[in-house]
Amino acid sequence: MAPVRALVSPFSVRSRVSAEKVTTTGGTSLVGAERIFADVALTTSGLWRNHGFELVLSGQAAQVSDNRYRFSRPNLESLGYVYSRGYAYVPTDLFGKVSGNYRFPLFYPDFALGAWIYLRRISANLYFDYTAIQDEARDISLSSGGSELTFETNAFRVFPLDIGIRHIRRFDSNDDIVEAYLRSVFVEF
């Protein structure tokens, strides 16, 4: 059996802050814009070996209007959601997000299909996300929860590739969404 690492660091604090400013020159009707984005992640050990809790706080303050430059979504999460999972990003003046995750291993199959793919671990994540959005016209609350099932593999013996299935429950509309995802250290889909 290959050495096994914890899904979440036993204790860590990570933070990121980015500030962007766009100025426009003549010949355009757009006005410049500014945006500040920040996130902080705290991790700790879970209840059993290789389990872990993760709490992520993030937010953005920006100037958004029809005649301003619009920034693309911030690259917040490795799985692609800026707001609560299940909700698409729409530029807004102000938002804050709280995300809680509990990650744990399920199985260690140690299964290889020749030199093509090696299945190392199958793990799960239970999560809850809450996002508060504020702009000129409205205040919106978005919340979702669900689970993720991840198959940790190595393709061609060296390329780490996680293949996952995510269930999302959007609490405001009681919608259930199921989606697949691929993640690697090189690129995310």
- For residue 8, what pLDDT band results from cuts at 50, 70 and 90? confident
Q: Is the pLDDT of residue 189 over 50?
A: no
How many angstroms separate the CA atoms of 176 and 28, rounded? Answer: 43
- For residue 5, what pLDDT band results from cuts at 50, 70 and 90? confident
Angle at CA of residue 40, ends 125 and 16, nearest 5°: 120
pLDDT of residue 171: 95
- Give 16-71 pLDDT, tens digit per residue: 898 888 777 766 666 777 889 898 999 999 999 889 999 999 998 887 666 666 67
Mean pLDDT, the chain, integer: 85
